[in-house]
Structure 1
Amino acid sequence: MSTTNNNTVLISGAGLGGLCLAQALKKHSISFKIFEKDLKRSFRAQGYRLRISEFGILSLQYALSDEIWSLFEKTSAVFEPSKPGTRLSTHTAEALAAGALGGGPPPLGNVKPYTVDRTTMRDVLLTGLENELHFGKAVANYTTTDSGVTVHFTDGSSETGALLVGADGVKSPVRQQLLPEYPFLDTGMRILYGKTPISEEFEKKFLEDAQHGMALLYDDGSSDNAPKTGVLEAIRFPQGKTVEHITLPDDYIYWVMVLRKEHLPISDTEVLRLDNEASSDLAVLLTKGWHSRLKPMIELQDRTQTSTLKMSSVDPSMPDWEPVSRVTLLGDAIHNMPPTGGAGVNTALRDAADLARKIVDAGGTGNVTKATISEYENDLREFSRKWVGLSWQGGTKAFGLKPLEECEKLSI
């Protein structure tokens, strides 16, 4: 079955960048449809804590209606500045000298950031988009003509519109067709993400100084020959369990461990196949030598929420490509980066708002040309190169990323 509307923006992916773009288009009365490969809204976990900083905030303010911006603010977690000395040794639970883990990129600006739960923020951005959102739609490929683009889905259906936007993450099938040789790298680092509910038992057992704000962890690997670094942050929602139609999570500690693949006790192939339970077991194994006041973070983890991922990144050089008038990209689909500094989500939001603005300034999709897309993509590359580079610098200081020339190229 094929559906046609040559004025419609077709968005592949219902992540935060794609939804931000959709909200901006809706705000300016521009037709769009969103296609998400997941079978339903809550098909899988959507992540944990995010920090929305200056250019992410400005992008959301452009994209969102007053009502949805207010909902975003109301559902944000408390932003707790970190206490001095929250660089901790995992073996002594004592503060390390400043700079022991290095630092991330410089601050994004003077605007107070928002701390949000990713799933909650996604629910906010989904508000009012139900009629334009289609689940179970995985992109197979697309075809273009002078007048439009047709997206073909793996279920045999298709949609035709004015512009296709690949907002579908690191493994974007849209980018795979548009830029099949674009340079992505395996940093050689593997990440364990987890979530630990802040229960009464947890508060009694866990180091009090690490229960507020962010703490950086340093583990020299003395117990398991696996040097690792980590981050944790308390995410708290004092506004209650619900805000309007949004259900907020219980308070939790968000935690991350980063280590080189060669320091893991199992093969890399096995690591990248771990499910939630096996990832939880790996976290327990890797922290067996931690101090008793820090181990509760792992011992009391929500075992359904732990995951293991490859830390990949676009090559920071981000070479130019030839634009086409009917297809473009945003977010991780084109500039996946190390998580250091939290610039990934903010850059995706910036992409979404900028693309929407350029469509609006052109007078709608009927006036979008190759020159419009070229201007958007030039701006995207110029902006993203800076933040990918800063993320690499921060990752090198904090996590010991390998030099670029030692990283393996990825085909994704």
Structure 2
Amino acid sequence: MSSISASHPVLIAGAGLGGLCLAQALKKHSIPFKIFERDFKQDFRAQGFRLRISEDGITALQYALSPEIWNLFEKTSAEILGLGHLGRLDALTAEPLPAGGPPPGARGGLQPFTVDRTTMREVLLTKLEDETQFGKYVTHFESNETGVTVHFADGTSESGALLVGADGVKSTVRKQLLPDYPFLDSGSRIIYGKTPLTHQVEAELSDNLLGGMCLLKEDEANGVPKTMLLEAMRFPKASSTIEHINLPTDYIYWVLLVRRDDLSIPDAELLSLSNEQSSDLALSLTEKWHPSIKPAVIHQDRSQTATLRVHSVDPAIPDWQASTNVTLIGDSIHAMPPTGGMGVNTALRDASDLARRLVDAHHCEKSLDGLVAEYEQNLRLFARKPLATSWMAGSKAFGLQPVEQCERLSF
């Protein structure tokens, strides 16, 4: 396998957070790379809401980012509210439930950051304009002894020393590389939502929902059992423009989780709901909730609501035969339930670990032979723990069914 060079760069499929973290680390260490993103422009679609960046993610970003971009990341983070506890309320009465443990993502020795995903993506795209191409959907790749060639839907192709699939759960890179990889359907469905934190909303909402992360529960005795996790997102510097980034206005991030079997809507229809239809479903499911809680859903931004499947790879993460010049990071290889708050941190950790190995090989003028296998073995050893923790947290707080009962998915 050839070494990385300007004519044989690292090829990154996907401009999500993991792919961009890898790109920033390569740029910081003067290693040639190119990014190919399937979306036609940076803001082509909504990029999600609140994320918690904890110890593994922080360590990865500190390695990957230049001091200038790390400073930008810090400045654009949200205010930390009540991170040390997880409030729990009965959704019908607004009465406290027995206290839970620390919220997802709260563990670790470093103070976590709370970020808006779209904002963080803007930060990680900073100064990568020359290396990023949008509207480039990977259809397939071809490997040979000198590297890899990637082919795109527009008929073009690019060649490089290494292809990194950072293209998410439905990764076309993984689909070709590991066609039988075990993705699972957890049996749960989630509705993501965002509610602008206006003066009206603050006045109508229970104070318990404004001081940090809160879990709302409606048990089976009252119909469809459901759980909502929500958290206020406040940006102290939102009134000022931070370089090229406009911070969002304050909002409440929420996610409503329901078991698939408790919904009367067929799965094919449920997973194709529009933003407006997802909004209506959330309103219907929370119709009987307490008046001090319902405003979080009533005043939602209807253009931002989405219904998704909770899926995951098998927490055991089986071994596979490594390629010499194609590998994967993040959700493309170890998607996990969001219930542990660990998916993004594990993806960032992947990116920094792979970058360290590439930096060492490039600067020591070593071949990349064996690098992918070593990286992937380390990835499996690390990712099994956050996967198991995510399933355990999901089972305890949200009623995720056991892994053994989950259906196999084919992406």
Query: What residue number does 2:308 align with?
Result: 309
Equivalent position amino acid for 2:88 in 1:
R
Which residue does 1:283 correspond to in 2?
282
Q: C-alpha separation between the residues in 1 aligned to 2:260 and 2:191?
A: 12
| Contact map agreement 1:6 1:148 (CA 8 A) in 2 | no
Give TM-score scaled by structure 1 length: 0.96
Q: Does 1:375 align with 2:374?
A: yes
- 1:243, CA displacement in angstroms? 1.2
Number of the residue aligned with 1:34: 35
Counterpart in 1 of 2:14?
A: 13
Please list every run of 5 or more consecutive structure 1 residues that lacks an aligned counterpart in the other structure. none
Q: Is contact 1:82-1:212 (8 Å) kept? A: no
Cα drift, residue 399 of structure 1: 1.1
Answer whether contact 1:284 1:299 (CA < 8 A) is retained: yes
Aligned to 2:242: 243
Which runs of structure 2 are paired with 1:374-393 in the superposition (5 Å)?
A: 374-393=373-392
Once structures 1 and 2 are overlaid, which stretch shifts more, 358-367 or 326-335?
Answer: 358-367
SS in 2 for 1:38: coil
Counterpart of 2:31 in 1: which secondary structure?
coil
Larger mean Cα displacement after TM superposition, 264-273 or 119-128: 264-273
Separation in 1 of the partners of 2:8 and 2:307?
Answer: 41
Partner of 1:397: 396
Partner of 1:73: 74
Which structure 2 residues correspond to residues 176-191 of structure 1 after superposition, within 5 A? 176-191=175-190
Answer yes or no: is the 8 Å Cα contact 2:54–2:105 preserved in 1: no
Task: Quote the Cα distance in structure 2 between the aligned partners of 1:300 and 1:142.
Answer: 46
Q: Structure 1, residues 194-245: CA drift from partner, whole Å, max 9, x if none?
A: 000000110111111211211011111555x210111000000011232111
**Does the CA contact (< 8 Å) of 1:83 and 1:209 recur in 2?**
no
| Deviation (angstroms), 1:265 | 3.2
Amino acid at match of 1:233: E
Q: TM-score, normalised by structure 2?
A: 0.96
Determine the structure 1 residue equivalent to 2:157. 158
Cα deviation for residue 341 of structure 1 reads 2.0
Distance 1:276 1:58, change over 3 A: same
SS in 2 for 1:91: coil
1:134 is aligned to 133
Alignment root-mean-square deviation, CA: 1.6
Paired position in structure 2 for 1:266: 265
Structure 1 residues 287 and 105: CA distance shift in structure 2, 3 A: closer
In the other structure, the counterpart of 1:341 is: 340
Aligned to 1:231: 229
Separation in structure 1 between the aligned mates of residue 364 and residue 151 of structure 2, nearest angstrom: 20
Give CA deviations for 1:265-312 in whole Å, capped at 9, x if unaligned.
311111100111000000000000100000000100000110000000
Tell me the matched-pair count. Answer: 406
Indicate yes or no: 2:63 matched with 1:93.
no
| Counterpart AA for 2:399 | G
Counterpart residue number, 1:51 = 52
Contact 1:340 1:391 in 2 (8 A): yes
Q: d(CA) in 1 for partners of 2:374 and 2:103?
A: 30
Mark the runs of 5 or more structure 2 residues left unpaired by the alignment: none
Q: Distance in 2 between matches of 1:82 and 1:293?
A: 22
Q: How does 1:99-118 map to 2 (within 5 A)?
A: 99=100, 107-118=106-117
| Equivalent position SS for 2:370 | helix
2:65 equivalent in structure 1? 64
The 8 Å contact of residues 85 and 96 in structure 1, kept in 2 or not, is answered as no
Q: Tell me the amino acid that sits aligned with residue 98 of structure 1.
A: A
Cα distance between partner residues in 1 of 2:86 and 2:260: 29
Q: Which residue of structure 1 aligns with residue 297 of structure 2?
A: 298
Helix, strand or coil: the match of 1:174? helix
Q: What secondary structure does 1:150 align onto?
A: strand
